[in-house]
Amino acid sequence: MITALLSDGYIWSIIRVSLYVSLTAIALSAVLSLPIALIVGVTEFRGKRLLNAIITTGMGFPSVVVGLLVLFAVSNQGPLGPLNLVFTPEAMILSQIVLAAPVITGISLSAIDSVDGGIRDAAYAMGGTRLDVAVVTIKEAKYGIATGILAGFGRAISEVGSVLIVGGNIVSDGSSYTRTLTTAIQLEARQGQFETALVLGAVLLVLVLSVNAIVIRLGSGGGRSR
Amino acid sequence: MALRVENVARRFGETTVFEAVSVTIERGEILALIGPSGAGKSTLLRTLGLFERPEAGTVRVDQTDIWAATERERLTKRRSVGMVFQEPNLFGTTVRRNVEYGLRVRRSWRTRFRDLVPVIGNRTPPQPVVNALSLVGMEDAIETPVESLSGGEAQRVAFARAMAYDPTYLLFDEPTSDLDPRNTAVIEDAVITATRGEIGAVVATHDMHQAQRIADRVALLLDGEVVEIGPTEQLFSSPQDPRTQKFIDGELVY
């Protein structure tokens, strides 16, 4: 039964869409989040605590609300209307960026914040440029940053609300267009297709568990090759 | 050829650390900067180390007015000044990667990336790294991760890291205040050996005996003012300023 399901192109197309959407969203979130985390982490300015609070709030933002806001943004009347993104994988990427970026920023920020200022002074004193000092800071905070990225991935791949709203859970010709693991599970379960739902659930669990295993490994110190 | 500050002022908001301090360090000499905690020793060292721009006055490295120079010139001159801190401040990697750091940042990014690749990159430790480590007797620990070093060993590696790229001036901010006598002796000997090779060194210390052991000249900093500066012997045997006498006698309590 399970092997029959796994040889089904339908299941694989869902996994493919899920991974495409979430991996792309995480890559873009990381590119967006790390410079912010670095700048906020190493500088002192008025309002830093407020900004920290905003980022932390963003980490727990309800995904349905994000979905709704992104739907407004990409709808015909919205600022991104001309791009025609409603019910596309790209709209789902957008909403997952909004969900994952605060997680990545928040966790990386606290890792960068906790790098001793003396380390940065040392890099500067040895003749490092501003870029060299930034690189040293990132290296010192690398486990925290990796944890942030993986936690962001965990949030992105396992959320239902926003992808359902902006993606529409669409299948065409028996192959997923905007159906992800989570929205598929929700639909299959509602239609009484419990076996399919369970297989999809198992796939999602394995994905999330492997990511968490990596996070735990990194947290325990990790390798020492640099 | 000298490292020199002229009438520099440093202020942090409302607080003025010093108003107009002038000090010159010639190559080949050790200047001890003594004074009680809070006198401004660290701030003066950071000014000499070109960490922050002073609010007034000039900082010169070999005649070049650093804060009037171009960014590129400033970087070149800054790279002839090294600093060792009270804490080792080592990067979380191996001894070797730490000591190589100064050499590495002076290479092009292309070379730096290439050296990361095992087969084509140059993986043998550069001679300056080995030399700097042997100066403090740490050459056998070259591949050791820094987490497994003792506090004294870590500070010796920090010294080697500052020596490896051949600086012209070296600044020390209380380099031995956390160390046992043996490691203190290793660092002091290394400072003396280094200055024999044309390096100018400034050692901030609150240990007057250390100043007497290693310094050619001593400057006493009190409340952000250089009260007296002169040859070590003269300053300790016949101080010109009554406040110096008081400080030496331990009567100036802060």
For chain B, domains (ranges, CATH) are 1-79+210-254 (3.40.50.300)
Residue A78 placed within a domain: yes
pLDDT at position A224 is: 40
Q: Six-digit token pair at A160?
A: 């239902």
CA B198-B202-B205 angle, 5° bins: 145
Please write the tens of the pLDDT for every residue from B201-214.
999 998 888 999 99
Residues in chain B whose beta carbon is closer than 8 A to a beta carbon of chain A?
Answer: 49, 51, 75, 78-79, 81-83, 85, 87, 89-94, 97, 101-102, 105-106, 145, 158, 161-162, 165
pLDDT at position A181 is: 93
* Position A206 confidence tier, pLDDT thresholds 50, 70, 90: very high
Please write the tens of the pLDDT for every residue from A41-99.
888 888 888 988 899 888 888 999 999 999 999 888 888 888 888 899 999 999 999 99
Residue A7 placed within a domain: yes
Q: Percentage of chain B surpassing pLDDT 70?
A: 98
Q: Percentage of chain B surpassing pLDDT 90?
A: 70
Any idea what the CATH number is for the domain that residue A180 is in?
1.10.3720.10
CA A101-A105-A109 angle, 5° bins: 175
Are the Cβ atoms of A136 and B91 closer than 8 angstroms?
A: yes
Residue A137 belongs to domain spanning: 2-219
B189-200 mean pLDDT: 88
Q: Nearest-CA distance from B195 to chain A in Å?
A: 18
- Distance (Å, whole) CA A194 – CA A185: 9
Please write the tens of the pLDDT for every residue from B15-38.
888 989 999 999 999 999 998 888
pLDDT at position A6 is: 66
A121, A128, A224 ranked by CB distance to B89: nearest? A121
Residue A143 placed within a domain: yes
Residue A132 placed within a domain: yes
The residue ranking higher by pLDDT, B171 or A9, is: B171
pLDDT at position A226 is: 37
Q: Count the domains in chain A.
A: 1
Residue A225 placed within a domain: no
B168-181 mean pLDDT: 92
Residue B77 has pLDDT above 90, yes or no: yes
Q: Nearest-CA distance from A38 to chain B in Å?
A: 18
Residue A226 placed within a domain: no
- Contacts of residue A139, Cβ cutoff 8 Å, sequence gap at least 6: A226, B91, B92, B93
| 3-state SS, residue A214 | helix
Residue A104 placed within a domain: yes
pLDDT at position B116 is: 79
A121, A127, A139 ranked by CB distance to B106: nearest? A127
Residue A64 placed within a domain: yes
Cα-only R_g, chain A: 20
Q: Nearest-CA distance from B202 to chain A in Å?
A: 14
